[in-house]
Chain A
Amino acid sequence: MKNRHKIKFTKIGFGIFVLTALIISGCTKNENPTPKGRYESGVFVINEGNFSDADGSLGHYNPETSENIQKAFELENTRPFGGLLQSVIIYNDRIYLVDNLGSRIEVADANTLTSILVISEELSLPRYMVIDGNKGYVSNWGPFAQDYSSPESFIAVLDIETGNILKTINVNSRPEGLKITNGKLFVSSLASSQITVIDITNDKITETIETSFGPSNFVSLPDGHLWFTTMAGNLNELDALNNKILQTIEISNLEGKLTIDKVNKIIYVLTSTWAPDFSFTDSRIVAVALSSPANYKSIYSTRNIYGLGYRENSNEIYLANANAFTGNGTILIISPEGEDISNFISGRGPNGFIFRY
């Protein structure tokens, strides 16, 4: 009996709440088309988190209002993300959050962040993900061997609707960057000197491309060409049609992360050098104009940058200062000319961005 009363009460309470909400929303503006959710526009900040605290998180920043939401996934799902948020992609209004530590992918509505699915089966230290049609491809380092090498690395092919793993493809050690273009999946493996090419119609390896040591991350251009960085410290242009490397540009102290301004055809890369006591890095942002890539130039220097992204809407570069992972990070917004625009607080270890609209 007692319980029934309780339910009745909450129903009435809820009724009043809905009514009030309706009245209030009726009173305020209602001209715009109903937004799909709080996160439909703006910038997602990927906060990787610190290993021992497993405090990876997704942040959201609204450049128009400067509203800055920390731990957005936790806020919308009332549970922490809890892991290392290695990478994030958005595909068909769904957001895929890749947890490197917990070996899982959280799938949520990209506009509301409401959890839809957790994919964990067969994943092992997942890094990055790309999607084509109904199929997702996830690079996995696989379990560490005793000497912390990664001899069992693979690409997991999964059905993005059900989360079921369809196939695993063994690749070179430590697959990192993934890019799909011309019906082919390009896989760069950090602990190798090769890029693996996979035919995505049958998910079979067709070819490997020799590179400098440690191919890392890709960006693509509409002309079908890919650019990628290597740990050896160079930036390369790859003709994705013929699988041929067209040019290699040496940039000293180059990091793996890069971003591209596709309109003006400029790639921005990051270089870092360590302070003598390792307590911080000196970071530089280097602009590589694809019209004459060899004449790259440093446009900005600061400390502790761990990731970067180019926001086309505003022609701005976002830099992720990870504060050497001891504290939460800071996001710096600069112009392509290297002028400071603004900055805002992020979560732990920011490593990249997703720009919406």
Chain B
Amino acid sequence: MNCFRNNILFWFTLITAAGHAQDSLQTYVLDELNIYGYVSQKYTAGSIQQDFNKFLSKHSTYSTSEILQQYSSIYLKSYGNNMLSTISIRGTGAGHTSLIWNGLNINSPTLGQSDLSQIPSFAYDELVIQYGGSSALYGNESIGGTILMHSTARWESKPAFSIYQNFGSYKTTNTRMELRAGNDRFESSTRFYYTYSKNDFTYNNILKPGQPKEKQKNAAVRMFGLYQDLYFKSGTSGQFNMNIWAHASDREIQPTIVNPDNSDYQEDRNIRMAVSYKNIGEWGNVNVRTGYVLDDLIYNYSLRTTSKTGMVQASYGKEISSKVEMDAGIGYKHIGVDTDNYLNMVEEKRWNGFLWVKYNPYPIWNLSFSIRKEFVPNYQIPEAPSIGSSLDIIKSTQNKITWKISGSANYRIPTLNDRFWNPGGNPDLIPETSTSLESGINWNHISLNTDISVLLSTYKMWVENWILWVPNGAIWSPDNIRKVHAQGVEITLKGENRINSFKLFWKFGYSYTKSTNKTINDAFDRSLDKQLPFVPFHNALALAGIALHSFELNINGNYTGKRFTTTDNESFLDDFWLVNLDVNQKLHLTRNTLKIGFTIKNLMNTSYFNLPFRAMPGINYSMYISMKF
């Protein structure tokens, strides 16, 4: 019955959209502006969220994890406060979202996933989330979604220096500094960040009689980083970009309340570097990119994992006619890992080639076809194609309704840990694969004092050969075990209104995710067709901001539905709401701007667990001051 209902919703958007299409095809013929920031985005009809930028500047101390938690309806698994935080988009696992920083996939090659608490939002200028499968565009691990992080030049001739400082509960301090200098041909941006938190919040120990208040032990975090961008225009149509990012973090690993005296410690050092050259000429666009990523992790002062990844990519794109555009490229990647967890050093060379084609039979209708093929020695990786259609059903000066539909096949190469971990690694694993279909409608309305947009998308996804680690006696081993069928709906409503001197911004987001298991391991297994553990059915967010002259008030609430902890859905963690409030005042001084603000997190003092027995803080405060010169 449930399945039936979901199917109806999926087809409903298709049918209604198709109905509209018939009478609007010839009616609206308007210019097709290239509003896409990145080459790849021209070739997708999938659901995209790119409204983070106004929040990034507001919250320069936030990690990417906090940004997504507060401003999207994506579920993040957090192993404590400021601790390991992994993402789950559209009911997939932590390894099913690729993280692309300036064109490089920076997911750890050993773990095949990223800790989003370790990616400060200060380390990029733009954040985009591509929902759904997009291996044709972004390659490995783009099954549930893709996070794109970019640095951009502003080409301003006036140098700008900004400094930000905050102090908060639990001995938390954050420093951010940025210096931008250049002219219309050259630009340099230098950034520095520092974060420390003793993180010794109090919580109620629900395991002890009387639920005594206890102080969290062993959860202090410290991180700092240096970030350098260089942009340089060469000739009339060329541009060099260079981004270098050094990140260091030392942190205690917050133990569960089950064994609060555990004292694990982790040190991370990361260097990420991207150098690219692009030339946009009449004869086509050339894009050459090279990158290097070094991840060095030391666990408990001795267990060390070092991985180095180098990559080169070259692509060529051309507008063949007013209706056809294409991009094609090849890429090479070299991964080397040295870790105490493997018997030997591991090296791997990967090649890939891609072709992206866009065809506009009418200016309002955009069709795309993309394909990628990756080669790894002794490994069979299936081709990853995707097709899409994006049609403007209504296009006027005030309203635009676009109907999008797309389908794709995607893959995830087993991680190096899956294959080489000693003991237990399984060299015979095959890639995880997915097939996904989605349909969405976007409506944008613009009038004098009001901007409103509504986004609705539904999807279906089938994941096969999902790798699980299962106990093999005393040793755990991975294998291609699980089959998953995921489907869901994502809705976003947002708007901006101007009423007299007030500026109002608001947004509601909701996602319904049904990600079900299709495999059982014995006759008594009760997990068939049940929701995967740690995938909430419901996730929602509501936020509003009011600005009056130089004063601003922002409030946001985020809802995480209940998460099952077992595959049979018999045990679960309760749902929770988190509300945050921020007020700030700008002061315009003669030569600079000063901003003073105050933030309250967990305003309702909610007591909750994101993951079992990982304590989280109640209401807490911070104040900040920032200056721009």
Instruction: Please give the residue numbers on chain A whose beta carbons come within 8 Å of chain B beta carbons, in ascending order.
Output: 50, 52-55, 70, 77, 79-83, 99, 101-103, 115, 118, 146, 274, 277-280, 302-304, 321, 323-330, 332, 343, 345, 347-348
Contact = CB atoms under 8 A, between A and B. Distances in A.
B258 interface: yes
Contact of B525 (A103, A146, A327): A327
Given A303-B522, A323-B522, A326-B527, A79 B207 contact: yes
Interface in B257-312: 257-259, 300, 302-303
19 contacts: A54-B258, A55-B612, A80-B206, A82-B613, A83-B258, A102-B258, A278-B479, A302-B523, A304-B524, A323-B526, A323-B567, A327-B527, A327-B567, A327-B568, A327-B570, A328-B570, A330-B526, A332-B524, A345-B570
Interface centre among A70, A324, A345 (most CB of B within 10 A): A324
Most buried by A among B208, B468, B612: B612
Pairs A-B, 9 closest by C-beta atoms: A327-B568, A303-B522, A330-B524, A327-B567, A280-B521, A277-B479, A82-B207, A278-B472, A326-B567
Nearest to A330: B524
B522 A280 contact: yes
A280 B472 CA distance: 9
A328 B566 contact: yes
B477 interface: yes
B620 interface: no
Question: Residue among B527, B570, B571 with the most chain A CB within 10 A?
Answer: B571
Contact of A278 (B207, B300, B477, B565): B477
Nearest to B475: A278
Contacts of B209: 77, 79, 115, 118
A155 B257 CA distance: 25
Interface in B555-576: 565-568, 570-571
Contacts, number: 115
Interface residues of B, number: 38
Dominant SS at the B interface? loop
A217 B525 CA distance: 28
B521 A326 contact: yes
A328 B522 contact: no
Contacts of B524: 304, 321, 323, 329-330, 332, 343
Contacts of B300: 146
B259 A102 contact: yes
Given A79-B206, A146-B300, A324 B521 contact: yes
B566 A348 contact: yes
B568 A328 contact: yes
A251 B527 CA distance: 33
A55 B533 CA distance: 14
A126 to B, nearest CB: 12
B521 A55 contact: no
B207 A80 contact: yes
Contact of A79 (B211, B568, B612): B211
Given A278-B477, A303-B521, A324-B470, A348 B571 contact: yes
A55 B571 contact: yes
A343 B522 CA distance: 14
Interface string B296-340: 000010110000000000000000000000000000000000000
Contacts of B256: 54
